[in-house]
Structure 1
């Protein structure tokens, strides 16, 4: 399919073409990316090393942090380096790989958030059967299904994109390779392909968002049967999840549920869900979760003790 293409290299316009602003973007996004890496890796390390965080919720939180780390890493490092270049270019193959990887980890995050909503529903609405329903084997199967679904989704997107010929122009008005700006460069009718892509990504985002919102409404309604202390704890956990869902899905729905047209606002919205949300997720979960904060303190104390022994 790639043999039909005359284009071998794409030019990424980036967030700005102004030299001074490019330096500002470099500093700001380098700090944001480092913050994303440190915060998510801290959560991953804490969950893996802490026996207190052995419940299914933290098992899924581990994979949410993993998907956040990978999603940001697919995009941020190259974008940061590109700000130092006079003209940022990316080969056709690298562009397709970036599209594939970003959609794999973006879709994985969507499925993990759905699984986490299911976990909270069982924990709050069926507390006596929670450990039976959400056994370790069940959790592993759910995460495996999320990985498979993410790969199927992304593979479908790539196959549709590769079915189009690219013969020029080769300037992508974005800071990374994504399907919407990429489709604009195809030198053939993209109506059917674009409809299939919107039906794929747009449907996944919209339907998943509706399912999540409905599930959390059901969960919040069921809290009236809880004691004041139990209601406060469950409400704190659910509100954290709802904040993550809104921050991630609203920008994605805006981007992926319309035809292959781009607006100036698209780049900033894409920054929010590709770099901003992966940074905010660990802050939301740790600042509103006493168990995670206590586990982090214990991890820090163990490190200090081991350093003193050495």
Structure 2
């Protein structure tokens, strides 16, 4: 604990007072921000890209591991509504240290700043321990926690760089260090029983990145928080064939019938991707300036009413 009379570091005071990071500015709470969204072609990632654009982001790197994902379609849909936000489809190996550093270099060389990093990658893996191999477990950890680890390790140095106003749409100066790392995971990271062991263990690891990150980021002006999603309807149903369903980001909401959802979820329904994205947008902005190391549950109250939101 700081001794009485100890002053807040000057750059943190300036961050709170900076007009360029005020969430109340009329042109958007994220106006001028340069952002990275991993998992951007999955339903939750797409919703996050749209949310950041809606609040004035200048540039969003929409990232995924698959070069064949529909980046052009994503860009067109976003620019149809928010033409001043530049969306850059950026395929790279999300669990590669080298590729992560190359992405950060590209961001800084092109824009001179980095403000938000949202890690929304996800891999379910097999639903039972019987079918879970060591390879499955490693794949789950690699997909669900490694991108967040690389964000914590490498993004803060870039986020501390300041820059004058650029000459591109939605440009704004960055006069103080600022950064927000948002890790989108599952309530499986706070208790077991949501799906299979690999998903549960790797979701715990993603939350561990957030919790360890508070001390790592001390004094940098960069925050890190987790969004722990519950039953989210991402368009996957039980009709999907084994391995295809295991590639999903969250357990299919159809694991629970409408009747069961009404019984065990406080809001009596599954959530929507945009409802996760809104929380990510809040954590990205100055509205959450005194929040770090937090885990915000976006589960409609299910974990309060009933710890086992999905029958296994």
TM-score normalised over the length of structure 1: 0.28
Which has more strand, going by share of residues? Answer: 2
Which has more helix, going by share of residues? Answer: 1
Q: Which has the higher contact order (CA 8 A, sep 6+)?
A: 1
Q: Is the radius of gyration larger for structure 1 or structure 2?
A: 1
TM-score normalised over the length of structure 2: 0.27
